[in-house]
Structure 1
Amino acid sequence: MTERKLKDDVGKLTFEQAIQQLKEIVDKIEQGEIPLQDSLEQYEKGMALINHCRTILQKAEKRIEKISKEEPREPERQDEDSEPLLRG
């Protein structure tokens, strides 16, 4: 698989899908069930998955920072004529 195709395929995955594939790769390599060449290919794919997950996490972190920096809105005041939200 070419590096470009690998990045394209990995780039389409959700964070959860990428983590699941990464776990499967680690299991295969640790069990020693695959030949060396396949291990190297799986390692390469694993690294692409790790980079993809890092990118997703960095974007999420930036989004959280942006949301956190926004000024909090004041709670809406209740009209005197309307019913209270909580009754005692």
Structure 2
Amino acid sequence: MVDLDVPADIAAMSFEEALAELEQIVRRLEGGQVKLDEAILSYERGALLKRHCERKLNEAQQRVDRIVIGADGAVTAEPAKLD
């Protein structure tokens, strides 16, 4: 699924890559030594990375099946419930 709101470089990232960059941005911003303009750009990129990570997690959750054992002992798989 292509997200038109996310730049191509972020869209091509795995969940782990995006999360690592997001964590790096958070550390820089929390350090307080970033100039205002750079902080704003970093914040905007962080928001895009967060959106990408959330989308990746949602996609993964939708792919997970719930294994159910029936009263007769039969094992079946049902789509995960997204609560």
* Greater strand share, structure number: 2
Secondary structure in structure 2 of the residue aligned to 1:28: helix
- Structure with higher RCO (Cα < 8 A, 6+ apart): 1
Tell me the residue number matched to 2:32: 32
Give the paired residue count.
68
Q: How does 1:1-88 map to 2 (within 5 A)?
A: 7-64=7-64, 67-68=65-66, 72=76
- TM-score under structure 2 normalisation? 0.71
Identity %: 28
Deviations 1:14-63 (A, max 9, x none): 11111110111011111112110000000000000000000000001110
Unmatched runs of 5 consecutive residues or more in structure 2: 69-74, 78-83
Q: Name the larger-Rg structure.
A: 1
- TM-score under structure 1 normalisation? 0.67
RMSD: 2.4
* Greater helix share, structure number: 1
